[in-house]
Amino acid sequence: MKSLELLKTAWQSLRVNPRRSFLTMIGIIIGIAAVITIIALGNGVKSKMVATFKTTDSGQQTTEIDFVSDNGKTFGFDKQDLIAIEQNFAGKVVSAKFNNPSTGITSAVQVGNSATEMLNLAIVKEPLAQNLIVAGKNFTTQTFTAAKPQALISKALAKRQYKNISMAIGSPLFIDNVNYVVVGVYEASQQADAQAEDPTTGDVIVPKVVFAANTNSKSQGNAVKLTIAKGQNASKVTKKVVKYLEKNGSAKDKGTYNYFDIGSVLQQISKFMDTLTLFISAIAGISLFIAGIGVMNMMYISVSERTQEIGIRLAIGATPRNILMQFLLEAIMLTVSGGLIGFVLGWFLANGIAVFIPGNIKAVVTLNSFLLAFGVSTAVGVIFGILPARQAANKNLIDILR
Amino acid sequence: MIELKNINKSYIQGPNSYHILHDINLKIEQGEFLAIMGQSGSGKSTLINIIGFLDDQFEGTYYYYDHPIHEYTRAQFSSLRNRNVGFVFQNFKLIQNVSIAENVALPLLYAGEKRAVIKERVAQVLEAVGLKGYETQLPKNLSGGQQQRVSIARAIVTRPKFLIADEPTGALDSETSKEIMALFKRLNKENNTTIIIVTHDPNVGAQADRLVHILDGRLTEDQTHRQSKGG
């Protein structure tokens, strides 16, 4: 008998009792869905880790050390610090560079004729979204190519300084004694998120080319990006650099050096996920086992209900092997259907849960997950279907037809 | 074609041993229309189980076209049944959840035939038993006579050498019984298919070309019947 015919026969038999078939599948669905969900989330955490440790092509990793000054004015690093780091950690640190932020820069700013104040400043490399501009003009590409000393200020700042926000347009603005002209007023974007480095969260926005050329950001900074040599433990090396800076840094008495070890945090999450995966897998394993017993039970009932059918098939020339395959295939079809439904359900579930996990983790469903769902459900079908199928195949034909 | 020599069959149930068949000797030629008559419990079903390659547990020798069936194993019986014998049962024994065409196609599927061949052959035999156009119906929607025709169609679909019909009219009214018997006769004449009918009904037995009686596991040939039929 051809395998296609066997499949068709199995399908027809299962269709006779759809409710029973579905109920039997539920255990498999739950078991597989649970496993797929947890694996998808675990994969998500791992891919997030990989993305965070932006490993370069040569296998190097980068880390960042921040400086928080006590008075808010002093820069934490100068050129000497960088040279010293590169020299003292030769072989471990490939390079040390300033990593000055583009948002949240605190700087002394004088707007129009008012007194100088400390404001939150952002630098940009391209114009803002046009819909954020509420008065005046946006930056243009020319602003950047020609390095025009133009500035945008927030609606809040404009309101504070002028009666009418449009009066701010054309006013002079001084940062580090460099003269900018206010060309527009913007409103903070609705989705403003400090973490996402949205420039509109600050009060003043200036073009990066102009700002960088006129400040000492090239020789000073509050953040240093370290490129760690291949094969080194990035986290350990960075911690040593921090210790070195605390002893020898140019600003060691004026603030603190911080290294936020995102890697170790993610590793902890990953470890937690591994434990959770193990735990959920154990539960899913029990669920699949019980589901398997359910399949076995249903198949035994099916075999005894269909004794006549088995007899007929044997009488007209089916071999015991044909009968065995028919019932085994029914069991497998049942569990694999359950496995595939469970796979899809797990996929949805993982995506749904990922929304509520902090750290912007996405569920990642891979081909391996699919193969796992497929393989496990097939295995359950075979393991728990073989005994009833054998019972069917070994039925005594004479007894049945009597 | 079929030659049974000194067939004995007994089975053990609990502490008791039952001797069902006693020294059965029977020779059946190709193209015969034979009826085996006997009361229930006489051993006639046991006998046709042996003849139809359903039962391999017996003593004595059984040659089928010179094949020593008594030496065959149960596994070899499947293909032997599939290619050589068609069964027609008293209660039709159709698979209820598949269509008429699929029921009839089953023996060919197990024989490993191609789909196109099967379709053509099924249409052919359904027409032969007068059920053209019933292909997609389910067995439960057919009358008893029609179901028995389906069962006959299934039995002849592989062009078997012989048919075994166990009380084929037992569940049918007399009018339908006549039709079914007529169908058997036609198959016997047109295709030269050997037909072995088992019955307790003398009216059915009388229509066969040759009649044997079985009583308490012993076989006796009805010579008068053969003479009256001119054979």
User: A398 touching B, CB under 8 A?
Assistant: yes
- Decide if pLDDT at B25 tops 50: yes
- Interchain pair A316, B97: CB under 8 A: no
In this prediction, residue A379 carries a pLDDT of 95
User: Which H or E run includes A10?
Assistant: helix A3-16
Q: Which residues of A touch B82 (CB under 8 A)?
A: 316-318
Residue of B nearest to A314 (CA): B78
Q: Is A87 within 8 Å of A78 (Cβ atoms)? A: no
CB-neighbour burial class of residue A289 (10 A; exposed 0-12, middle 13-18, buried 19+): middle
Of A5, A317, A319, the CB nearest to B107: A317
Nearest CA in chain B to A6: B109
Which A residues in the span 291-310 are in contact with B, Cβ-Cβ below 8 Å? 308-309
Please indicate if any CB of chain A lies within 8 Å of the CB of B218: no
Alpha-carbon distance B208 to A5, whole Å?
Answer: 39
Chain B contact for A5, CB < 8 A?
yes
Determine the residue of chain A that is closest to B110 in CA distance. Answer: A1
Can you give the residue ranges of every domain in chain A? Answer: 3-51+265-401, 105-217
Q: What is the pLDDT of residue B13?
A: 81
pLDDT beyond 50 at B31: yes
Whose CA is closest to A93, among A58, A50, A61? A61
Q: Is A400 on the interface with B (CB under 8 A)?
A: no
A313 vs B: CB within 8 A:
yes
Give the domain extent around B116. 2-228
Comparing A267 with B5, which gets the higher pLDDT?
Answer: B5
From A308, A311, A313, residue closest to B106, measured CB to CB: A313
Cα pseudo-dihedral B187, B189, B191, B193, rounded to 10? 70
SS3 state at A104: coil
CB burial of residue B132 (10 Å; 0-12, 13-18, 19+) = exposed
Q: CB A313 to CB B158 under 8 A?
A: no
Residue B77: which of B114, B42, B104, B51 has the closest Cα?
Answer: B51
CATH number for position B60: 3.40.50.300
Of A186-195, B23-32, B162-171, B203-212, the poorest mean pLDDT is in A186-195
Is the CB of A315 less than 8 angstroms away from the CB of B93?
A: yes
Give the tokens for residue A153: 């200020």
Phi and psi at residue A71, in whole multiples of 5°? Answer: -100, -5
- Interface contact B94, partner A, CB < 8 A: yes
What is the Cα–Cα distance from B175 to B203, expressed in whole angstroms? 12
Report the C-alpha gap between A6 and B224 in whole angstroms: 51
Question: Among residues 57-86 of chain B, which lie with CB inside 8 Å of chain A?
Answer: 75, 78-79, 81-83, 86
**Helix spans in A149-261 (H):** 155-161, 208-214, 234-248
Total structural domains in chain B? Answer: 1
Chain A residue with minimal CA distance to B98? A12
Please name the residue of chain B whose CA is at the shortest distance from the CA of residue A5: B109
Q: Are B103 and B139 in contact (CB under 8 A)?
A: yes
**Neighboring chain A residues of B111 at a CB cutoff of 8 Å:** 317
**Cα gap A175→A301, rounded to integer Å:** 84
B106 CB-side CA count, 13 A: 31
Distance of residue A311 Cα from the nearest chain B Cα, in angstroms: 9
Contacts of A21 in chain B (CB under 8 A): none
CB contact (8 A) between residue A315 and residue B87: yes
Residues A264, A28: Cα–Cα separation, whole Å: 36
Of A1, A12, A309, the CB nearest to B110: A1
Return the residue matching tokens 């194993």.
Answer: B73
A322 interfacial to chain B (CB closer than 8 Å)? yes
Asked if residues B171 and B90 have their Cβ atoms less than 8 Å apart, the reply is yes
User: Minimal CA–CA distance to A392: which of A336, A344, A320?
Assistant: A320
Give strand pairing partners of A93: A228
Q: Is B159 on the interface with A (CB under 8 A)?
A: no
Predicted confidence pLDDT, tens digits, chain A (402 residues): 677 888 888 888 888 889 999 999 998 999 999 989 988 988 888 787 777 665 555 667 778 888 887 776 677 788 788 888 888 888 888 888 777 767 777 777 888 777 788 888 888 888 888 888 888 888 888 888 888 888 888 888 888 888 788 888 888 888 877 888 888 898 876 655 544 567 787 888 888 878 777 765 556 777 888 888 877 777 788 888 888 888 888 877 888 888 877 667 777 777 887 888 888 888 888 989 999 999 999 999 999 999 989 999 998 888 898 899 999 999 999 999 999 999 999 999 999 998 887 777 888 899 999 999 999 999 999 999 999 999 999 988 888 877
- pLDDT at residue number A197: 66
Give the per-residue pLDDT at A393: 92
Closest residue in A to B76 (Cα–Cα): A319
Cβ contacts (< 8 Å) between A397 and chain B: which residues?
54
A319/B93 touch (CB, cutoff 8 Å), yes or no: no
Look at chain A and count its residues. Answer: 402
d(CA B53, nearest CA chain A) in Å: 9
